[in-house]
Amino acid sequence: MIVSIPRFWKIVLGIGLIATLLLGIGLTLSMRDIMYPKGNEISKGEEKKDTNGLPEKNLQIVALGDSLTRGTGDETGKGYVGWLKEELTTGLKKDVYVLNHGINGYGSENILNDLKTKEDIRNSIQKGDIIVLSIGANDLFHAGQEEINPEVIRNRFSVAEGSMVKVLDTLHSLNNRSPILCMGLYNPFSDLSVGKETGALVKEWNNRVMQVVTKYPKMVYVPTEDLFSIQGTKYLSSDHYHPNAEGYKRIGVRMAQVLE
Amino acid sequence: MSREITLEVKNVKKKIRGKEIIKGISFKVEQGEIFGFLGPNGSGKTTTIRMLVGLIRPTAGNIEICGYDIQKHTNKALENVGCIVENPELYPYLTGMENLEHFARMLPHVPQKKIDEVVEKVDLGDRIHDRVKDYSLGMRQRLGIAQALLGDPKLLILDEPTNGLDPQGIKQMRSFIRGLADMGLSVFISSHLLSEIQLLCDRVGIILNGQVIHEGTVSSLLDESHRKMYWYVHPVAEGEKIIKGFSAVKITHVDHEEGFIITESDEEWVPLVNEELVKNKVKVSRAEWKKPVLEDLFLKLTGGNQFV
Amino acid sequence: MSNMYHLVMNEIIKLMRKKRLMVVFLILLVLVPIFTYAQLRVTLQTQKQLGTTDWKVALRQQINDTTNRLSSSRIPDEWKQWMKVRVQQQQYYLDHNINPTAPNAVTFTREFMSNSVNLFIPLLIVIIASDLVSGEVTSGTIKLLLTRPIKRWKILTSKLIALLLFVSIVVVLTGGMAYGISGMVFGYGGWTYPVLTGFQLQGETVGTATVHALPQWQYILMEYGLAWYACLAVACISFMVSVLIRSTAAGMGIMVAALIAGTILTNMVSSWESAKYFFMVNLNLTDYLSGTLPPIQGMNLTFSMITLGVWSLLALLISYSVFIRRDVLA
């Protein structure tokens, strides 16, 4: 009866109906899938070779460790890893990249666990040109959670050292061609009443670390204790525990000096 | 031969927000006649028209179109009506033709031939394929009527059909409406202009404050006795004094600035008044009969009480 | 029935002639390239920072970052919970060697919908729906429409059907444009790449017993189906507003305000539990597929779908009863 039907009307109707049908199917499928989920064997995604087209002349830093590695307290967000990268970039005229696996609160057991279970972290260490590590602080101090008691801390030494050795062992087995920089502890409590005693503890711990480190040819112990020993609080952030930007910078610069 | 009644309104009332807008109106429209629905703005014309076409439900009363009650058999009733309520509002973003097709699809079985026929009837020609937003008011009015005629209605309801048209357009519209009525259509026209109704309608209903205060043929309404005499005299005060001397001549208005006096009287008194004026050295520059305007008519019909 | 066919035809012709779909198309044409570019910049930035295109490295860094943020005491618990769930899922992806954001147009299409389902797409729907009835009232054409010998409910139904068809078209169009435009940058592949779904969330632990991989094309079909359901609800409510409010601008304003309020509420109401009965908090249906933690405890797909369904039905009920009875005065 009715003529002169505009051409687009039927097209629009058709598209609309098809779209509705498709979306309706999609909705039904997802309702079924979400309300009655069934797990199935997940085939691993295809392993693609890392074909990155980055310049040959680059340097990969892989950082492991706790909040110090993460850079907590550094208002610029760089942490010693970031400052190290900056120093190396200008010093070596190379593109320097950072993979930062540092997690706040990590102790040596956590790091060890990551190294054992997380394939991608192992991978990155194998490929890394420079490995940096901060370890031990959380094994010894439970900052903010307890009163500082030198006796308690000293009692933790042997366990902490045991895990640390395992971490270093694993690192060495993963990568024995690249330098591994192990950051020494500093005494963050120099302004407290127990400052003297903790200073001695830190020294003792660092000595142990140094001794372990020297067993591995590519490993370097980087002391930081001296950097904070005279004007300690000047280089600490507002939490009186982590370094501030200036403090991290000094650590980073020192590491760069070791490498250059 | 008694003619078919196409529209019958029986004691219809409407309250809106507690206020009675329509206070019980009744009238009839017969086949082939043009019925004028006359009333000033705000008298309830538009509300009534909306009730006629089912846009508003009456609070009480019945409306029948060709025997079908608009409330109970809405569709049957509306099939027999073509209407323009207020302005001829069509889709500005569609062409005239697309508008007509749009409304044709909403009626049972309107062939393309019918669409072409109404387009020809309202003489839109090639412009029918232009967007309505580019139409003049007159063209919109004509397209609106074309739309109203699509369903071959028995009753055509037009709200102020000549509103906003130029004199040429008004003239065309009148002859067009007359032509439709001659073909047997009933046409219901609302207007606030008496002259409009006078020129076009066979019968008239006058609505005021929600009541139909008069229903009858136009000729009976406008009988000669309602005419008024305009005297352009100088000096006015002198003239007024003299005219007051005639007890059979009633002065309804004296305009000192423009210099005229309006009187009501039988025709035979006019030469006598004129003679008296001249005799008393009052200059009569002009004297003429004027047809009553709507306001006067209302004054007459309501005795001057209701109309403000 | 042919009656209804013609009525729907009228409505679709009017919608097309009003160029509403064109507006939606143009909005997408402008915004999708912007989002594509932003996505590209993010990808390039990460690559530049990490010195590798290896997604695993990037994902590991994301996990590390989130984990570190978790230790901050300034972050509200609800966010932490959300982040914990996210970390666990990302770790799961990593463990199974599946890139959750494989850089291709299909992934972009998938991500685009999950990011826009709660605000952007509903806004497009509002553009179409908001003047469907109020537009006829403002232009006065409602008077012609309602003086046809056709029942009012049929006229309203024809408008509703046209609206639903357009909702479908808009959802599909969005996907099509996201795919077409982003493909120029990211490449058109990735249809069969696996996506994981079926994470069971209990508090902040993620159950993985029912996790399974879907090819991306199927995931997208399902995701867009869910988004479509959310859009239908928005369309119904918008439709009601259009019936109730004579001014199109006011109606549109109300809908936009409601939708934006929804996104704000989503970010802050987790402690106000009854806020989950608002329709706009439930629009993120696609989250249930990807396994993102819902904004309020106790929300799940069934709940959200029922909530949206009830809102839609009520909206339609109100629309019909008002439209059928109302005196046309304006």
Same domain for B234 and B208: no
State residue C272's pLDDT score: 81
B289 phi/psi in degrees, rounded to 5: -80, 135
State residue C55's pLDDT score: 84
Q: How far apart are CA B39 and CA C281, in angstroms?
A: 55
Whether the per-residue pLDDT at A2 is higher than 80: the answer is no
Question: What is the nearest CA distance from A24 to chain C, expressed in angstroms?
Answer: 6
Same domain for B234 and B217: no
Q: Check B110 against A6: CB less than 8 A apart.
A: no
Tokens representing A199?
A: 């200073």
Q: How far apart are CA C217 and CA C109, in angstroms?
A: 10
Same domain for B75 and B189: yes
Percent of chain B with pLDDT over 70: 92
Domain count, chain B: 2
Q: Which of the two residues, A44 and C21, has the higher pLDDT score?
A: C21
Q: How far apart are CA B286 and CA B278, in angstroms?
A: 12
Question: What is the nearest CA distance from A37 to chain C, expressed in angstroms?
Answer: 6
In a domain, C270, yes or no: yes
Domain end residue (candidates: B163, B193, B221) = B221
Inform me whether the C-beta atom of residue A99 falls under 8 Å from chain C C-beta atoms: yes
Q: How far apart are CA A100 and CA A66, in angstroms?
A: 10
Q: Check A13 against C12: CB less than 8 A apart.
A: yes
Q: How far apart are CA B272 and CA B270, in angstroms?
A: 5
- Name the residue facing A20 among C56, C168, C194 (closest C-beta): C168
State residue A1's pLDDT score: 33
- Other CB atoms within a 10 A radius of the CB of residue C158 amount to 22
- Name the residue facing C144 among B76, B79, B103 (closest C-beta): B103
- Cα–Cα separations (whole angstroms), residue B257 to A67, B234, B277, C252: 99, 11, 19, 56
In a domain, C100, yes or no: yes
**B250, β-bridge pairs:** B264
Kindly report the average pLDDT of chain B as a whole number: 86
State residue C1's pLDDT score: 53
In a domain, B302, yes or no: no
Question: What is the nearest CA distance from B111 to chain A, expressed in angstroms?
Answer: 6
Question: What is the nearest CA distance from B296 to chain A, expressed in angstroms?
Answer: 52
Are the CB atoms for C231 and C171 separated by under 8 Å? Answer: yes
Whether the per-residue pLDDT at B286 is higher than 90: the answer is no
State residue C239's pLDDT score: 96
Q: Which of the two residues, C106 and B251, has the higher pLDDT score?
A: C106
- HSE-CB at C82 with a 13 A cutoff on CA atoms is 16
- Cα–Cα separations (whole angstroms), residue B85 to A8, B44, B88, B90: 31, 13, 7, 11
Q: How far apart are CA C52 and CA A121, in angstroms?
A: 14
Q: How far apart are CA B162 and CA B86, in angstroms?
A: 11
Over residues A173-193, the pLDDT tens digits come to 999 899 999 999 988 888 778
Q: Which domains does chain A have, with CATH numbers?
A: 58-259 (3.40.50.1110)
Q: Check A45 against C228: CB less than 8 A apart.
A: no
State residue A59's pLDDT score: 85
Over residues A19-41, the pLDDT tens digits come to 999 999 999 999 998 888 877 76
In a domain, C330, yes or no: no
Same domain for B33 and B64: yes
- Other CB atoms within a 10 A radius of the CB of residue A131 amount to 24
> Considering only CB atoms, which chain C residues are within 8 Å of B86?
140, 143
**Least confident stretch, B179-183, B195-199, B283-287:** B195-199
Over residues C39-51, the pLDDT tens digits come to 999 888 888 777 7
- DSSP string computed for A106-156: --HHHHHHHHHH-HHHHHHHHH-SEEEEE-SHHHH--TTTS---HHHHHHT
- Cα–Cα separations (whole angstroms), residue B40 to B83, B176, B193, B307, C308: 21, 25, 8, 10, 51
Read off the pLDDT band of C64 (50, 70, 90). Answer: confident
Q: How far apart are CA A210 and CA A221, in angstroms?
A: 6
Same domain for B251 and B180: no
State residue B63's pLDDT score: 94
- Cα–Cα separations (whole angstroms), residue A20 to C21, C171, C225, C239, C287: 16, 9, 9, 18, 21
Same domain for B167 and B245: no
Are the CB atoms for C56 and C94 separated by under 8 Å? Answer: yes
Q: Check A42 against C222: CB less than 8 A apart.
A: no
> Considering only CB atoms, which chain A residues are within 8 Å of B95?
none
Tokens representing B248?
A: 């059979």
ipTM of model: 0.89
- HSE-CB at C76 with a 13 A cutoff on CA atoms is 8
Q: Chain B: residue nearest A6 by CA? A: B98
Q: How far apart are CA C210 and CA A41, in angstroms?
A: 10
Same domain for B144 and B32: yes
- Name the residue facing C150 among B92, B93, B106 (closest C-beta): B106
Inform me whether the C-beta atom of residue C27 falls under 8 Å from chain A C-beta atoms: no
A153 phi/psi in degrees, rounded to 5: -65, -45
> Considering only CB atoms, which chain C residues are within 8 Å of A45?
96-99, 193-194
> Considering only CB atoms, which chain A residues are within 8 Å of B109?
1
Kindly report the average pLDDT of chain A as a whole number: 84
Q: Check B105 against A2: CB less than 8 A apart.
A: yes
State residue B294's pLDDT score: 59
CATH code for position B10:
3.40.50.300
> Considering only CB atoms, which chain B residues are within 8 Å of C10?
102, 105-106
- Other CB atoms within a 10 A radius of the CB of residue B182 amount to 10
Whether the link from the prior residue into B235 is cis, omega within 30° of 0, is: yes
Q: Check C17 against B93: CB less than 8 A apart.
A: yes
Q: Check A4 against B101: CB less than 8 A apart.
A: yes
> Considering only CB atoms, which chain B residues are within 8 Å of A6?
98
Whether the per-residue pLDDT at B12 is higher than 80: the answer is yes
State residue A260's pLDDT score: 78
Q: Check A12 against C16: CB less than 8 A apart.
A: yes
Q: Check B107 against C146: CB less than 8 A apart.
A: no
Same domain for B189 and B235: no
When scoring C17, C144, C158 by the number of chain B Cβ atoms within 10 A, the one with the most, hence best to mutate, is C144
Same domain for B240 and B154: no
Interface of C with B (CB under 8 A): 6-7, 9-10, 13-14, 17-19, 139-141, 143-151, 327-329
Same domain for B24 and B161: yes
Residue B260 lies in domain: 228-290
Average pLDDT over residues C242-248: 92
Inform me whether the C-beta atom of residue B111 falls under 8 Å from chain A C-beta atoms: yes
Percent of chain B with pLDDT over 90: 36
> Considering only CB atoms, which chain C residues are within 8 Å of A33?
197-198, 214, 222, 289
Q: Check A26 against C210: CB less than 8 A apart.
A: no
- Name the residue facing C327 among B56, B76, B105 (closest C-beta): B56
Same domain for B61 and B201: yes
Indicate the SS3 state at residue C202: strand
Residue C81 lies in domain: 2-325
Inform me whether the C-beta atom of residue B113 falls under 8 Å from chain A C-beta atoms: no
Question: What is the nearest CA distance from A197 to chain C, expressed in angstroms?
Answer: 29
Over residues B118-163, the pLDDT tens digits come to 999 888 888 899 999 999 888 898 899 999 999 889 999 998 888 8
In a domain, B307, yes or no: no
Q: Check C50 against A95: CB less than 8 A apart.
A: no
Whether the per-residue pLDDT at C86 is higher than 60: the answer is yes
Whether the per-residue pLDDT at C76 is higher than 50: the answer is yes
Over residues C138-149, the pLDDT tens digits come to 989 999 999 999
CATH code for position B284:
3.30.70
In a domain, C271, yes or no: yes
Same domain for B268 and B182: no
When scoring B76, B106, B130 by the number of chain C Cβ atoms within 10 A, the one with the most, hence best to mutate, is B106
In a domain, B304, yes or no: no
Domain count, chain C: 1
In a domain, B301, yes or no: no
Whether the per-residue pLDDT at B71 is higher than 80: the answer is yes
Kindly report the average pLDDT of chain C as a whole number: 90
Please count the residue pairs, one from chain A and one from chain C, whose beta carbons lie less than 8 angstroms apart: 179
> Considering only CB atoms, which chain A residues are within 8 Å of B112?
2-4
Please count the residue pairs, one from chain B and one from chain C, whose beta carbons lie less than 8 angstroms apart: 80
Average pLDDT over residues C169-192: 93
State residue A4's pLDDT score: 44
Inform me whether the C-beta atom of residue A193 falls under 8 Å from chain C C-beta atoms: no
Chains sharing 3 or more CB pairs under 8 A with chain C: A, B
